[in-house]
């Protein structure tokens, strides 16, 4: 199997995990956001520490390169930013068919922005930060397990301090909710521990893919993520499906199909 094909499979798997993760977070919606983030960080670090130790000398990578029924969700915007970064920063060029595919995806996002009337500033900020993260990950000469472990290691002290205070009842979240849920019952505690692999695994897959496929390709495939999240939002949580979504989603998937078929044909 070629390195590019491995990269495609990796980003498809990462996007699928992110896409269905809303089911997991819905089961823990009583956990304050900062406490949830802290658990994700700490348990990811524990998981990745074991993985980094197992990687040993092989940790260096090879040289090859909540439900979202709102347009402000950054994963609608990130794929287009990834395409722009690939074009302007990395010198990637697209065929006419791929250009048409990108245009369809951009039109879909514009339809959602205008139709739903949601200012996309938060989405642009979050998507820009993640796009910059992906650009850096594509240049780092360290394997995905080690690189993501280092990331969690850097912020783990803050997470541990916050969790210690939450467990001791020293502070509440911005809405005045008391934290410290770990240890209250076995089910909740196990779900919090699962936050480790659910957070770390897709980041490792993303890192793996970022070094093996074009950044524009990586971005467009990630439309799988918000599509899965939107489907869960509508089918499982009863959120509304508007006419604007009915217009935008076929455009996105037609664009992705065109881009993929053209890429396979060119190979």
Domain boundaries, the chain: 3-266
- Residue-level pLDDT at 74: 63
Structure tokens at 103: 């245009």
pLDDT band at 119, cuts 50/70/90? low
* Residue 68 in this model has a pLDDT that exceeds 50: no
Q: Please state the rounded mean pLDDT for residues 225-247.
A: 89
| pLDDT of 14 strictly over 60 | yes
CB 195 within 8 A of CB 36: yes
Indicate whether 206 pLDDT > 70.
yes
pLDDT band at 126 (very low <50, low <70, confident <90, very high): confident
pTM: 0.78
Residue partners of 262: CB distance under 8 A and separation at least 6: 95, 97, 98, 101
Cα–Cα distance for residue pair 229/23, rounded to 1 Å: 9
Extended beta strands in 122-174, E state: none
């Amino acid at each position: 199997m070629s390195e590019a094909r491995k990269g495609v499979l990796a980003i498809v798997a990462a996007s699928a995990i992110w896409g269905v993760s809303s089911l997991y977070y819905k089961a823990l919606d009583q956990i304050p956001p900062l406490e949830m983030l802290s658990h994700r960080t700490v348990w990811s670090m524990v998981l990745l520490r074991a993985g980094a130790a197992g990687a040993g000398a092989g940790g260096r990578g090879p040289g090859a390169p909540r439900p979202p029924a709102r347009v402000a969700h950054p994963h609608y915007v990130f794929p287009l930013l990834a395409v722009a970064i690939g074009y302007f920063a990395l010198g990637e060029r697209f065929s006419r068919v791929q250009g048409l595919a990108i245009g369809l995806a951009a039109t879909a996002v514009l339809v959602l922005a205008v139709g739903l009337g949601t200012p996309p500033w938060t989405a642009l900020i979050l998507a820009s930060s993640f796009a910059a993260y992906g650009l850096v990950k594509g240049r780092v000469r360290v394997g995905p397990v080690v690189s993501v472990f280092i990331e969690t290691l850097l912020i783990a002290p803050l997470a541990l301090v916050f969790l210690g205070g939450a467990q001791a009842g020293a502070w509440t979240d911005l809405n005045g909710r008391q934290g410290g849920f770990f240890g209250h019952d076995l089910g909740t505690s196990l779900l919090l521990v699962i936050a480790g692999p659910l957070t770390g695994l897709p980041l490792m897959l993303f890192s793996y893919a970022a070094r093996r496929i074009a950044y524009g390709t990586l971005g467009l495939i990630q439309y799988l993520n918000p599509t899965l999240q939107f489907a869960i939002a509508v089918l499982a949580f009863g959120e509304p499906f508007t006419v604007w979504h009915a217009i935008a989603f076929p455009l996105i998937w037609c664009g992705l199909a065109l881009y993929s078929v053209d890429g396979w044909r060119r190979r």
